[in-house]
C-alpha cells in the first residue's frame, strides 16, 4: 500500500512543481495557493508512505537506493515547507519541489525494475526523450543567439548615434529591434525549460529497464544534464528576481553556453550516452 501513497505523492509533487513557476516568476497568487496546498498534500501522502514502508519492514532506517531516495525526498520537501512556514519563502520551491519530484519519481515506479509492455512502447518513449532534449537544446541555442544579436544591435545603434554614420553597420540593417530580440530570447528560454524537464523524466523511466539501475545517475552525461537543468532553473530565477534585461540578460544567457558545451562534451566520456553507442 505504501507504493500507492508514494505514487499519489509523486503526482502531487509534479503538480506543485508546475504551479511554483508561475507563482514565483509571474507572481500569481492563485498558483501560489495551488502550489502550497497541493505540495503540502503530497508531503502528507509521502510521510504516510515512508512510515508504512519502514513499519512493514520492521526497521527505522532505509535499505537500498530507492528507499534512501524516498527518504531524502521527504527531508527536502519537509525542509522546504518548514522554511516556507517560517519565512514565507516560496521562491525556494523552484528548486526544492522539482528536486523532490525527481527523487520520488523512480521509487514510485516500483520496488523492482520497470518493464515496458512492448518494444514499440519503449521505442516511443525513447523517441520522445530524444526529441524533448533536442528541443530544449535548440530553444536554449535560439535564446543565446538572440542574446548575441541583442549585443550586436545595441552596439550598432550606439555607434550610429555617436558617429551619425551608418555605412559601417549598413549590412546589419535587417536585424530586429532590441525589444523584439529580448522577447525572443526570453520566450525561447521559457519554451526550452519544460522540454528539458520532460526529457529528463522520460530518461529516468527508460533507464529502469536497463541493468545499470542507480549507477545510471552517476554517468557523466546524466550528471551534466541534471546540472544543466539546475542552471536552467537558476537562469530563469535570476532573470526574474534581478529583473535582468538587455545586456546583462544577454551576458547571463551567454554564460549558459559554456555549461551546454560541457554537457555535449560529456558524451565522449559517457558509458550510456556516447555518440554512436548502441
| Contact indicator for 233, 95 with CB cutoff of 8 Å | yes
Position 171 confidence tier, pLDDT thresholds 50, 70, 90:
low
Residue 127 and residue 162: Cα distance in Å, rounded?
A: 52
Mean pLDDT, range 182-187, rounded to an integer: 82
Which of residues 270 and 33 earns the better pLDDT score? 33
The DSSP call for residue 217 is G
- Confidence check: pLDDT of 217 > 50: yes
Task: Read off the pLDDT of residues 223-238 as tens digits, 9 standing for 90 and up.
Answer: 777 777 887 787 777 7
Position 147 confidence tier, pLDDT thresholds 50, 70, 90:
confident
Residue 265 and residue 269: Cα distance in Å, rounded?
A: 8
Mean pLDDT, range 78-95, rounded to an integer: 90
Percentage of the chain beyond pLDDT 70 is 73
Task: Read off the pLDDT of residues 1-36 as tens digits, 9 standing for 90 and up.
Answer: 788 999 999 999 999 999 998 898 778 899 999 999
- In terms of Cα–Cα distance, which of 134, 106, 94 is closest to 239? 94
Position 275 confidence tier, pLDDT thresholds 50, 70, 90:
very low
Task: Read off the pLDDT of residues 96-128 as tens digits, 9 standing for 90 and up.
Answer: 998 899 889 878 877 666 677 778 888 888 899
Question: What's the grid cell of residue 22?
Answer: 508561475
Mean per-residue pLDDT over the chain, rounded? 78
Amino acid at each position: 500500500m505504501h507504493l500507492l501513497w508514494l505514487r499519489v505523492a509523486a503526482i502531487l509533487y509534479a503538480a506543485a512543481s508546475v504551479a511554483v513557476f508561475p507563482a514565483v516568476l509571474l507572481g500569481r497568487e492563485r498558483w501560489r495557493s495551488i502550489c502550497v496546498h497541493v505540495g503540502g498534500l503530497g508531503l502528507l501522502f509521502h510521510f504516510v508512505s515512508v512510515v508504512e514502508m519502514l513499519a512493514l519492514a520492521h526497521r527505522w532506517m532505509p535499505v537500498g537506493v530507492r528507499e534512501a531516495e524516498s527518504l531524502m525526498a521527504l527531508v527536502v520537501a519537509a525542509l522546504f515547507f518548514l522554511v516556507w512556514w517560517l519565512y514565507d519563502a516560496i521562491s525556494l520551491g523552484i528548486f526544492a519541489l522539482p528536486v523532490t519530484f525527481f527523487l520520488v519519481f523512480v521509487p514510485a515506479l516500483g520496488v523492482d525494475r520497470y518493464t515496458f509492455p512492448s518494444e514499440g512502447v519503449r521505442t516511443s518513449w525513447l523517441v520522445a526523450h530524444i526529441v524533448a532534449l533536442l528541443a530544449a537544446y535548440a530553444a536554449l541555442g535560439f535564446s543565446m543567439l538572440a542574446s548575441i544579436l541583442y549585443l550586436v544591435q545595441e552596439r550598432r545603434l550606439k555607434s550610429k548615434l555617436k558617429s551619425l554614420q551608418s555605412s559601417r553597420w549598413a549590412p546589419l540593417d535587417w536585424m530586429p529591434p532590441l525589444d523584439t530580440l529580448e522577447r525572443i530570447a526570453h520566450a525561447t528560454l521559457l519554451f526550452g525549460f519544460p522540454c528539458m524537464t520532460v526529457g529528463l523524466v522520460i530518461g529516468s523511466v527508460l533507464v529502469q529497464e536497463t541493468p545499470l539501475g542507480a549507477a545510471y545517475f552517476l554517468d557523466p552525461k546524466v550528471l551534466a544534464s541534471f546540472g544543466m537543468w539546475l542552471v536552467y532553473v537558476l537562469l530563469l530565477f535570476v532573470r526574474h528576481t534581478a529583473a535582468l534585461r538587455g545586456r546583462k540578460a544577454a551576458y547571463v544567457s551567454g554564460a549558459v553556453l559554456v555549461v551546454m558545451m560541457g554537457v555535449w562534451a560529456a558524451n565522449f566520456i559517457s558509458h550510456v550516452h556516447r555518440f554512436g553507442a548502441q
